[in-house]
Amino acid sequence: QVQLVESGGGLVQAGGSLRLSCAASGRPFSTGCMAWFRQAPGKEREFVATVNWSGLSKLHADSVKDRFTISKDYHRDTLYLQMNSLKPEDTAVYYCAADPSRDCSDQSSGYKYWGQGTQVTVSS
């Protein structure tokens, strides 16, 4: 059974940094794709970044490129999202997602498993 548990969210001032973690169990972590999405109030869920099973192929949304970095730690079965130079428009609930597929999608429909989300609030 796949379980994803996010942590690391919080309140930070604009320009600050946060690192989100997603503790994963189950097959998708080692053989499939994992991703971060976010959803702001009144908006649709938005793709942030994805990484493939090897950790070598990554894709970041244009809105976060050069500020956010997705990574995996195989020893801890953990997915990370390092977020730097945060902006108020980054405020959202951030979700960890996983799927057994090796074709990593930037669409939420491409992921079977989801965490409960962690709130990130960036003040101006």
> What residues contact 97, with CB distance under 8 A and at least 6 apart?
4, 34, 35, 36, 37, 108, 111, 113, 114, 115
CA dist 120 and 98 (Å) reads 20
Residue 76 in tokens: 């801890």
* Cβ pair 15, 124 in contact under 8 A: no
> What residues contact 79, with CB distance under 8 A and at least 6 apart?
21, 22, 24, 29, 34, 36, 51, 70, 71, 72, 73, 96
What is the model's pLDDT at position 29? 65
36-56, pLDDT tens digit by residue?
999 999 999 999 999 998 888
88-115, pLDDT tens digit by residue?
999 999 999 999 888 899 999 999 999 9
73-91, pLDDT tens digit by residue?
877 789 999 999 999 999 9
